[in-house]
Structure 1
Amino acid sequence: MTGRPVHPGVMPHLICRGAAAAIDFYVKAFGATEMMRLPDRKGLLMHASVMVNGSMVMLMDEYLDYGARSPQSLGGTPVVMHMTVPDVDKAFATAVAAGATVVMPVADMFWGDRYGQVEDPFGHRWSLATTVKQLSPDEIMENLRKMEQAP
């Protein structure tokens, strides 16, 4: 096989209502690098890819006739894309300034991360985190128990 790179691992393949605008958003919000666009005759993107935080993310436009539905058509998404970043507060602020909606503000979490969630304008959810303290599974469980007992 020649000509096409092979990408090991698991990659999200996002269906977006407005995939071209989604690419522009991901560049502004997450520092993505556009890799390719494959438009159909009508200008919809049959396939595209970007690199986000060192990982490939594939995306395409919504094609209702083929069952390719975006979160907007489905009434939301049960999936959250997660990114570990060097400075969660800065990355979160950048995403919000680019048009993301705050789902969960950044806060210190019982598992040792500063963590927050945003939803992009296309209905996809993203969590952003920076590890501030490495904790063992026992320490995480203890912190969870303390949190559950707090008034």
Structure 2
Amino acid sequence: MSTPAIPAGMTGILPHLVCAGAADAIGFYQRAFGAVEMMRLPAPDGRLMHASVRIGEAVVMLVDEMPEYGALGPKQLKGSPVTLHRFVPDVDAAMAKAVAAGATVVMPAADQFWGDRYGIVEDPFGHRWSLATHLRDLTPEQILQAAASAAPC
């Protein structure tokens, strides 16, 4: 029997987050997003060399900050240009759950011109999560027309 080149459940793009306190991040993601821990590999010094959780159908990998290897989290880097996006059945409830677990609201949930109710939270480790509930299907033309009359960001 041959080993598959891509492990089962590991298709697509897998976010790999650097966190100051990856073990704490796992706990936060469990409380905030219902994450299920898949595995963790601690280094001899106690930091996590690798861990992974499943959030919905997505696998998210984590590692502790390790400056000696250039692994720095968003707080050390003064932010990140990356936002993790997740569709949820009820964006308001999902944001409230994340805030109760320790996230900060960056953008309150609101109905958006592209057809989603959408908001953004920042987790205690500096990663931003956009959360959305899809409300209506629109054509690209309808979205462009709605964007033209929307308030600027």
Count of aligned pairs between the two proteins = 148
Greater fraction of residues in helix: 1
Mapped pair 1:31 → 2:34: yes
Structure 1 spans left out of the alignment, 5+ residues: none
Alignment of 1:1-151 (within 5 A): 1=3, 5-6=7-8, 7-148=10-151
Deviation at 1:8, TM superposition (A): 1.2
Deviation at 1:146, TM superposition (A): 1.2
Q: Secondary structure at the match of 1:106?
A: strand
CA contact (8 A) 1:53 1:83 kept: no
2: CA distance, partners of 1:85 / 1:147: 24
AA in 2 matched with 1:56: V
Q: Secondary structure at the match of 2:76?
A: helix
1: CA distance, partners of 2:16 / 2:98: 20
Structure 2 spans left out of the alignment, 5+ residues: none
> What is the TM-score when the length of structure 1 is the normalising length?
0.94
> Deviating runs (4+, > 6 A) in structure 1?
none
| Identity across the alignment (%) | 59
Supply the RMSD in Å over aligned alpha carbons. 1.4
Deviation at 1:148, TM superposition (A): 4.6
> What is the TM-score when the length of structure 2 is the normalising length?
0.93
Deviation at 1:114, TM superposition (A): 0.2
CA contact (8 A) 1:83 1:126 kept: yes
